[in-house]
Amino acid sequence: MASRPELQAPPEIFYDDAEARKYTSSSRIIDIQARLSERALELLALPDDGVPRLLLDIGCGSGLSGETLSDNGHVWIGLDISPSMLNVALEREVDGDLLLGDMGQGLGFRSGVIDGAISISAVQWLCNADKSSHEPRLRLKAFFGSLYRCLARGARAVFQVYPESVAQRELILTSAMRAGFAGGVVVDYPHSTKSRKEYLVLTCGPPSIATVVPSGKGEDGESCSDDSSADEGDRTVSISDRHRPRKKQKVNKKGRGREWVLKKKEQMRRKGNVVPPDSKYTARKRKARF
């Protein structure tokens, strides 16, 4: 990623007509957004009774995440600050209702009417002060406070966020806790730089069994499915490396050995890469006549 969009301009200016179009015509972004919202919906843990719920999509943009909600049969209301993004959403004829609004000004909804809220890559925008009147702390407080009021008791809110730093994550999380939410951060694929994703899972109401934060994916070395292209790095069973000084070469005639290969494979798995399963052929040398 070249540079974070929130460092370049305020959201209503950054997502202009050109950027909105670019955002929605890129199949890669569509794919990622769909996957993120699918996971967010999973973390929402709505009761599995087939009844459509009224959900809120905060920072809905062009409605990519809303589409996932519609596909799962839910009714949603989307909120975004960028008119250009909402125009694209209109063109795409999304099923949900759209509102032009600023989440930092608080959400204007009645109390306890919303069954759940998701937000994909949006909340970190609140940490920026784009105008002289903006104070990130107050904006976060207004946002989480109004969200807490409009959610039904026991309802969840799941935010996928890209915090810039530890301090920023801390800021978002404390604001949420001050508003009365219980919950925490779920990290998917924590060992990988590329597929690592953070979700803030918040529950309305006092701590109980329902507020236990679910565990992230890939924590126990489970491979993530999105790197179907596999990693480009060579995974050959190294025999020797001529450019290294002699001392560091701990290679015998047979090569690095099975143990070393297994260790490396385990490392790659923890990073979330796709690694072939271990078998009796793992780290075996090819026959010379091959």
Partner 1 sequence: MRLLTHNMLSSNIKGVANGFPLRIVAEKVIEKPVEMNHDFLKNMFAKLDWKAFVDASRSLGYVELPDEADASMLESSEFLNKFHHALLELHLEEGALVCPETGRKFPVNKGIPNMLLHEDEV
> Distance between CA 125 and CA 168 in Å, rounded?
11
Do 223 and 270 contact (CB within 8 A), yes or no?
no
> Distance between CA 229 and CA 220 in Å, rounded?
22
CA 90 to chain centre: 25
Q: Between 13 and 100, whose beta carbon lies closer to partner 1?
A: 100
- Please count the other Cβ atoms lying within 10 Å of the Cβ belonging to residue 179: 19
Take residue 243 and report the two structure tokens written for it: 């450019």
Please report, to the nearest 10 degrees, the dihedral formed by the alpha carbons of residues 71, 16, 109, 187 taken in order.
Answer: 60
Strand partners, 183: 202
Q: Does 10 bind partner 1 (CB under 8 A)?
A: no
Q: Does 47 bind partner 1 (CB under 8 A)?
A: no
> Distance between CA 181 and CA 202 in Å, rounded?
6
By CB under 8 A, which span of 18-26, 100-108, 241-249, 253-261 interacts with partner 1?
100-108
By CB under 8 A, which span of 105-113, 189-197, 198-206, 240-248 interacts with partner 1?
105-113
By CB under 8 A, which span of 111-119, 191-199, 240-248, 269-277 interacts with partner 1?
111-119
**H or E element in which residue 56 lies:** strand 54-58
> Distance between CA 258 and CA 285 in Å, rounded?
10
By CB under 8 A, which span of 109-117, 187-195, 221-229, 253-261 interacts with partner 1?
109-117
Q: Which of 13, 100, 167, 210 binds partner 1 (CB under 8 A)?
A: 100
> Which residues in the 48-67 window bind partner 1 by CB under 8 A?
50-54
Q: Which of 60, 64, 86, 186 binds partner 1 (CB under 8 A)?
A: 86
> Which residues in the 134-193 window bind partner 1 by CB under 8 A?
142, 146, 150
Whole-number CA gyration radius for the chain:
23
Q: Which of 90, 210, 212, 230 binds partner 1 (CB under 8 A)?
A: 90
Q: Between 99 and 237, whose beta carbon lies closer to partner 1?
A: 99
Q: Does 75 bind partner 1 (CB under 8 A)?
A: yes
* Residues contributing to the site for partner 1 (CB under 8 A): 50-54, 75, 77, 81, 86-87, 90, 95, 97-102, 105-110, 112-114, 131, 133, 142, 146, 150
